[in-house]
Chains A and B, each alone.
Chain A
Amino acid sequence: MSVEVITIIMVLFTFALYTGIGWWSRVKDTSSFYVAGQNVPTVANGAAIAADWMSAASFISMAGLVAFLGYDGTIYLMGWTGGYVLLALLLAPYLRKFGKFTVPDFIGDRFYSNSARTVAAIATIFISITYISGQMRGVGIVFSRYLQVDIIVGVLIGMAIVGFFALLGGMKGITWTQATQYFVIIIAFLIPAIAISLQLTGNPIPQLALTSSDIVERLSTIQVDLGMTEYMAPFTNLSLLNVFMIALALMAGTAGLPHVIVRFYTVKNVRAARWSAVWAIIFIALLYLTAPAVGAFAKYNLINTIADQPLEEVQDIEWVSKWETTGLLQFDDLNGDGIVNFAEGSPDNEVVIDKDIMVLSTPEVANLAPFIIALVATGGLAAALSTASGLLITMSSAVSHDIYYRIFNKEASEQQRLRVGRLSLLVALLIAAYVGINPPGFAGEVVALAFGLGAASLFPVILLGIFDKRMNKEGAIAGILSGLIFTLVTISLILSRTIFGTEEAIIDSFFGINAQGVGVVGMVINFIVSFIVSRNTPEPPIEIQQLIENVRAPEMDNSHFEAAATKESE
């Protein structure tokens, strides 16, 4: 059987599985539609958080980015996991205690303001659309390469599956589907990693083989010989300032991701939220500790396969020719010597490789069995679809709950809200399909923008809402607006070539900080402005201060909890 046939069988099997689970856990009331009726077990919720969190970027792109950034790839490894620490310690338990449906709900209630609610809902919708466009690119790449179908067809199939069980099951259906998808994702990531690790180092545990073998050291030497940067040395691709700022921006941006925060509403109580976070970080780390090994091993294999080899022989390799037809891998024999000169970053480089194909091509480069290649494709789809469905629910609840119900129609019945929820999910689905078929020319920049805006807007406001009792409506709104506007303007100026089509960038960087890291400056501005404004305007009303006190009080003081604890201690 060919790789393509095995891939189709595995993809169909997993899609049937996800759909079956979505059907089995379908819901009829609003509360379960948004937050799964708060009866999902901790481990399942942890796996669902992990699948939700690990998008096509984590599965398909990250190891490839690390392979080409070397040491500096730590911005993604540490940035995304470090942000999770902020989320688990500073936000999740309190938002669970607050006990509402959505992030805009918290911001609107805490700052007793529909303007704040609207701003938060718009930020949520924007961040979600940006993310979905990234997932759709992942789906498009996988389908175009492995199913040999047109990208448009591939995206439409993917959207139909996501839409089917998201509409049917709401959050509860998604939670169970995502928990299943986590296991598909992790198996698909680990098996090729183990195989390639055995092949290169003789050690079956890739996470350990990264440090115990000499592959990284050899890779460093080879790269320097070829004219690339030294793999193991810090700050060869990005300056120290940029590594620091980008890591911090990704951390704060990730902690403020509304579709991940909402996950913590789906557990029973605060204690379960804390333990869901523990399970999720363990599940996430399993992939994140493997990714740097995959990155280094894949790069090593790739260099050995194509660097300094005759171009004709390289182009005869099956995986090379298949990726060449997708346009994601290109050769250009600049000096006409018929030999592949692979020197990323130097002017003599003759190989243009899209970093997104590193993970997907790894099993082929290492000559692994066809079923492993099919497995990786299935895993990449699971990662993209699980994140896309979480984002769709988040986006539709921002529209139907935060904007429609809380602002326009406070008398809306449960039926009406559910209908608007499903309608907006459908609209979101269509927008996502459109973005997937016609991806904006500047996808990478848009993602940087989403993280930067998250770091500069949602994260500081939620944090201050919990930890600063004196923070009021005026301070929060002034803070969000100044952080948002600063970040938006600065990123647009730095990326003016792709955004406005100017000849040259209007500014190169903000005092040495590039577009990906500038959200941190926006975040600091947000903190300072909201502090100054709040201290010079009236303090929040008494009932809001009581609300915050209540979020801080031990969960045990809730009456039903007290009864359970008394019974337990007897």
Chain B
Amino acid sequence: MGEPERVQTLNEKQNWYWKKNIKFISGLLVIWFLVGLGGGVLFAAPLNEVPFFGVTLSFWIGHQGAILVFILLILSYAIRMDKLDREYFEKKHEN
């Protein structure tokens, strides 16, 4: 079945904005997965041998560390998107 051509109403600059957005979200979600489900679950057994202050590293990630990383992810998304909005504004008014 042939793939018909899609409607494309975003102009070049809008497309650039959307692609940047997707790239950034993907990066953040990779960190989200590695820290939360990786460090807290998949690699919990080996990391349980690593001491972290009074507890083990995996215990800390599972109970507190992952949540701290989650805050940073959402914060960096808001900051980065503000910057992207500004870059887009400048790009749009270049010519």
A545 to B9 Cα, complex, angstroms: 9
B1 CB → nearest A CB, Å: 7
B interface residues, tally (CB under 8 Å): 50
Pair A556/B89 contact, Cβ less than 8 Å: yes
Q: Which residues of A contact B59 (CB under 8 A)?
A: 71, 216, 232, 234
Please pick, from A210, A233, A288, the residue contacting B67 in the complex, using a CB distance under 8 A: A288
Chain A contact residues: over half helix, strand or loop, or mixed? helix
B72 CB → nearest A CB, Å: 10
Interface-facing stretch out of A81-89, A162-170, A429-437, A501-509 = A81-89
Please pick, from B6, B55, B81, the residue contacting A545 in the complex, using a CB distance under 8 A: B6
Q: Which residues of B contact A535 (CB under 8 A)?
A: 1
A470 to B68 Cα, complex, angstroms: 36
Pair A244/B54 contact, Cβ less than 8 Å: no
Pair A244/B41 contact, Cβ less than 8 Å: yes
Pair A470/B70 contact, Cβ less than 8 Å: no
B26 CB → nearest A CB, Å: 10
- Tell me if A77 is interfacial: C-beta within 8 Å of chain B: yes
| Chain A residue at minimum C-beta to C-beta distance from B48 | A234
- Tell me if A450 is interfacial: C-beta within 8 Å of chain B: no
A535 to B71 Cα, complex, angstroms: 37
Residues facing A in B1-51 (CB within 8 A) are 1, 4, 6-10, 14, 17-18, 21, 25, 28-29, 32, 36-37, 40-42, 44-45, 48
Residues facing B in A501-542 (CB within 8 A) are 535-536, 539, 542
Pair A81/B54 contact, Cβ less than 8 Å: no
A interface residues, tally (CB under 8 Å): 62
Pair A82/B66 contact, Cβ less than 8 Å: yes
- Tell me if A406 is interfacial: C-beta within 8 Å of chain B: no
Pair A470/B6 contact, Cβ less than 8 Å: yes
B43 CB → nearest A CB, Å: 10
| Chain A residue at minimum C-beta to C-beta distance from B29 | A89
- Tell me if A212 is interfacial: C-beta within 8 Å of chain B: yes
A242 CB → nearest B CB, Å: 10
A555 to B21 Cα, complex, angstroms: 13
Residues facing A in B59-93 (CB within 8 A) are 59-60, 62-64, 66-68, 70-71, 73-75, 77-78, 81-82, 85, 88-89, 92
Q: Which residues of B contact A244 (CB under 8 A)?
A: 37, 41-42
| Chain B residue at minimum C-beta to C-beta distance from A216 | B55
Q: Could you jot down 11 A-B contacts, CB within 8 Å? A: A77-B64, A78-B36, A82-B37, A211-B60, A232-B55, A232-B56, A278-B75, A469-B6, A470-B6, A539-B6, A556-B92
Q: Which residues of A contact B (CB under 8 A)?
A: 66, 71, 73-74, 77-78, 81-82, 84-86, 88-90, 93, 207, 210-217, 232-235, 240, 243-244, 247-248, 271, 274-275, 277-278, 281-282, 285, 288-289, 292, 469-470, 535-536, 539, 542, 545-546, 549-550, 552-557, 565, 569
Q: Which 9 A-B pairs have the closest CB atoms?
A: A74-B62, A292-B63, A234-B44, A545-B7, A274-B78, A211-B53, A552-B18, A549-B9, A88-B74
Given contacts A90-B25, A271-B85, A289-B68, 7 further A-B contacts (CB under 8 A): A82-B32, A82-B37, A89-B28, A244-B41, A247-B36, A545-B9, A552-B21
